[in-house]
Amino acid sequence: MNREYLQSTQDINFKFYQNERDFVVDEIPLAGFLGRGNYLILHVSKVELTTWDMIAIFAEFLAIPAEKIGYAGLKDKHATTSQYLSVETKYENLLKKFQHKQIKILSTIRHSHSIRMGDLAGNRFSINLHEVDNIDAGKIEKIARKIAKTGLPNYFGYQRFGRDADSINQANEMIKGELFVEDAKLKNFLISIYQSYHFNEWLRERVLLSKELGSTELVLLSGDVYQLSDKKLTIPNLVPNKDFPMKGAVVTGLLCGRDTIRAKGAAREIEVKYDDEFLQEKGQRREALIYPSDIDCKYIRKETMLNLSFTLPKGSYATVFLESIAGRNYSAKDVKMKEKKRK
């Protein structure tokens, strides 16, 4: 499963590693917190833990079910990350005693309701790129800013599919009825993998078509479905089957399933190859392009290192942005740094 990109790079070489020093992620909340209410919002940082691991630690400390702890999104394990959690205010005094070597409570504030999945605007990334000379540093910044203008294909990153992408095979076997999965959480996870894989393959074909037509931007087709990016507009969020792009709208791809809009015309001819209309899970549309913002580059010549900072909307992958810059695909093995090299 390869991810194709729109911009052609000129042999840019760099290495990056997912660890607590070189990969930093900060969650951006959807809106400000009120400072009053029945819930306590925790701004927390964690190192070398998944979000699930961290929630389990808090749940054990507070002696409550993990389901009682609200969160907006999942953050990388092999990184330093910050995000927001919510608990009832009755645990405020107990949390003052909380200590853990991999978790730090940065601040707390009260709010009127708990945090729900998806309650975030995006994520701010700060990533160190290694073995970069000053010429490549300039190339990286130039192409990063170009991608920010023309759009980044919004693939699901390699992290979505597990090591060696073994979960894709399990998902396909389950959908075909060749594998029985009793655990509801695992079943839902494999369905999401199935949907993500087909979205990625659809997007890859659309990118390849655009490149064949000589475009460095995603070529739009008759019958595409657009999503309005301007949240202030009161017209429906999804605009189906348009023959031309609308102002403030981004073309979307299908996460196959029931009860969602399908493309028509030329767009549907490609989409149908990656659709499964018999899937009982609810379908969705996902933006085909995203636009990285607030790009900042700092080159440290002595260390041949470029720090690249940028903001992405929720649900998108920083590693996809790096792949687009480098013009290559990465895997979990490529970005793992041995301990002895980090000293």
Rounded-to-integer distance, Cα 149 and Cα 292, Å: 8
pLDDT in tens, 232-262: 433 446 777 666 666 778 899 999 999 999 9
Burial code (b: 16+ CB inside 10 Å, e: under 16) for 99-134 equals eeeebebeebbbbeebbeeebbebbbbbbbbeebee
Catalytic residue among 76, 119, 136, 224: 76
- Model confidence at 89, pLDDT cuts 50, 70, 90, reads very high
Q: Catalytic site residue 76?
A: yes
Tell me: the pLDDT tens digits for 10-36?
678 899 998 999 999 999 998 889 999
Position 234 scores a pLDDT of 37
Q: What's the pTM value of the predicted model, to 2 decimals?
A: 0.89
Distance CA 41, CA 79 (A): 22
309, 148 contact by CB (below 8 A): no
State how far the Cα of 72 lies from the Cα of 143, in Å rounded to an integer: 31
User: In the chain, what's the furthest Cα-to-Cα distance?
Assistant: 62
Domains and CATH numbers, the chain: 31-118 (3.30.2350.20), 155-287 (3.30.2340.10)
For the stretch 40-85, pLDDT in tens is: 999 999 999 999 999 999 999 999 999 999 999 989 899 999 999 9
Identify whether the C-beta of residue 208 lies closer than 8 Å to the C-beta of residue 4: yes
